[in-house]
Amino acid sequence: MKKVALITGGSRGIGLGIASQLLKDGFAVAINGVRHFEMVAGTIEALKNAGGEVMYCRGDISVAADRHQVIEAVKNAFGRLHVLVNNAGIAPKERKDILEASEESFTTLMATNLQGPYFLTQAVANWMIDQQKKDDSFTGSIINISSISSTVASVNRGEYCIAKAGLSMATKLFATRLGEYNIPVYEVCPGIIRTDMTAGVTEKYDKLISGGLTLQQRWGEPSDVGKAVSALALGYFPYSSGQVFMVDGGMTVPRL
């Protein structure tokens, strides 16, 4: 019986890279997103045609009722869940200096990028504990997709940085709490990844990368993140709960 992974924001970008890799590595996958099924049907069909066991469960993780609905959909479809990947996240609608950014933007980003994953993790963790009590062989893990922005300041999107920094602490908190159940919690920090979210700043980062911003002089791809997440989900780092895994091409290596 295949292990099941739930990936929030899994129908495009980094999330799709993660879902694709987990499917290749033998997981059944539940993909969550906010778009209507008709808008993601082609992606889901392509994953199925590649031999994957995949379902789509629509829901906004910033909304408590939707989080419950997503979990129930996974329970009804698979009856089990071994891996939660908290990937869903949004960028500010407008990148504004922190001296001008709106409280509305701050509230919106916190709800989706921090509050949603925090309470989804709470619910899934309790379900994993229950599964473990019923089955001694059960193994689970939780993987938070953070960002280099959790430690690297960008004053024109401060709300995003603060949300990711909060998610970093949430990783440590849940890793600490779930240690007694041997359910590891990890943080993966992507750097500059080629997605629709970064499409608008392609020219800017092309110049920065060619100028030495990263040690490996190329953009990161969703598949780079997918491989890192899959290694964690497969249990290749069983004694590393609470740790941060950088997928940034060496961008955050201190240099003189």
203 pLDDT above the threshold of 90: yes
Mean pLDDT computed over 126-153: 98
Q: Please measure the distance between the N-terminal and C-terminal CA atoms of the chain and give it in whole angstroms.
A: 51
Confidence band of 198 (pLDDT split at 50, 70, 90): confident
| pLDDT for the residue 51 | 87
Quote the pLDDT of residue 17: 98
The pLDDT confidence band at residue 141, using thresholds 50, 70 and 90, is: very high
pLDDT of residue 63: 98
Spatial separation of the C-alpha atoms in residues 256 and 196, rounded to whole Å: 33
φ, ψ for residue 11 (rounded to 5)? Answer: -95, -5
Q: Between helices 222-233 and 13-24, what is the axis angle to 10°?
A: 50
User: How do the domains of the chain map onto residue ranges?
Assistant: 4-247
Residues 33 and 11: beta-carbon distance below 8 Å: yes
Alpha-carbon span 59 to 182, nearest angstrom: 29
- The average pLDDT across 117-122 equals 98
Mean pLDDT over the full length of the chain? 97
The pTM of this model reads: 0.97
Residues with active-site annotation: 160
- What digits encode the pLDDT tens for the residues 55-114? 999 999 999 999 999 999 999 999 999 999 999 999 999 999 999 999 999 999 999 999
Q: Identify the pLDDT of residue 52.
A: 87
> What does CATH list as the number for 4-247?
3.40.50.720
Edge-to-edge strands of the sheet including 28-33?
54-58, 28-33, 4-8, 83-86, 141-145, 185-190, 244-247
Angle at CA of residue 170, ends 167 and 175, nearest 5°: 135
Q: Is the Cα dihedral 159, 162, 167, 170 positive or negative?
A: negative
Task: Give the side-chain half-sphere CA count within 13 A for 208.
Answer: 12
Q: Say if residues 89 and 9 touch (Cβ distance below 8 Å).
A: yes
| pLDDT value of position 196 | 84
Average pLDDT over residues 114-136: 98
CA distances 204 to 61, 85, 147, 153, 249, Å, are: 31, 30, 19, 17, 17
Per DSSP (E only), the strands in the chain are 4-8, 28-33, 54-58, 83-86, 141-145, 185-190, 244-247
Q: Is the pLDDT of residue 50 over 90?
A: no
Structure tokens at 42: 């082609």
Q: What is the pLDDT of residue 197?
A: 81
